[in-house]
Amino acid sequence: MSNRVYINGKLLPKEQAVVSVFDHGFLYGDGVFEGIRVYHGRVFLLREHVDRLYESARAIRLEIPMTPDQMIQAVNETVQANGIQEGYVRLVISRGAGGLGLDIRKTSNPQVIVIADSITLYPAKVYEEGLKLVTASTIRNHSAALSPRIKSLNYLNNILARIEGTDAGCEEALMLNHKGEVAECTGDNIFIISKGVLKTPSADAGILEGITRNAVLNLAREAGIPVQECSMVRHDIFIADECFLTGTAAEIVPVVSLDGRPIGNGKPGPLTHKLLKLFQQLTEKP
């Protein structure tokens, strides 16, 4: 049976799930989205993702034509209609159709789209051996131009940095902010462990505050691991004992080198493994 996609209150076969070519989400990347994991048929941290979706929409003056509770219901219905047990949800809100111009007053009918499908994950070998990173020359969007806290449909900034990573043979790339500080990777947040302290760039570094990032911070605090959200530069990563990334798809993935320089002993470290195990317990069948 064909996958079914939720669009504006209807579950349609994916072949019929279409939006107008005049939609400003397509024309200008004018919209917001969330990526959410499904474990054992349960949508993981759904309320947190929906709350961030509405915050992103509010920041770009996009009014979502349904309540957060109705959105949660729509997501759960779409997951159930597709029989997804282990998978991924892409929740998209676009500005709606309008003219060939930037004036949002000339748009109408914001589109609410929910896609539930399987997901391609990092292979098991990556979790065993760790990722290698390179630093992209493409910097993270300046927060005074476009707040990185808005999860918008325009991901060109991240895509250009990811191209640099894949050209260098790496699955991910590190992005710095306009001050040369560590921000995040193209699709994941970054953490280091130094002398037993877990450190990650703070929100004012120009990052998207990841839902998985925040879950890991909470797990670390509950486990008695000292936590610091602080400014970081590449030097801090070079001299760290461990490093890992967090993200909806990645969960917690170890990093073993940056720009050809090994981090710690060049292997995934014990605290990374501990946090991954704690995170996996969160996602286990209730």
Active-site residue, selected from the candidate residues 106, 151, 274, 277: 151
* Identity of residue 14: K
Is 77 in contact with 10 (CB distance < 8 Å)?
no
- Per the listing, tokens 């109408």 go with 108
106 noted as active-site residue: no
Other CB atoms within 10 Å distance of the CB of residue 221: 12
Q: Using CA atoms, how far apart are residues 230 and 136, in angstroms rounded to an integer?
A: 21
How would you label 131-163 residue by residue, b for 16+ Cβ within 10 Å and e otherwise?
bbbbbbebbbbebeebebebbbbbeebbeebbe
- Per the listing, tokens 């990334």 go with 245
3-class DSSP state for residue 248?
coil
Is 131 in contact with 256 (CB distance < 8 Å)?
yes
Other CB atoms within 10 Å distance of the CB of residue 40: 11
Catalytic sites, residue numbers: 151
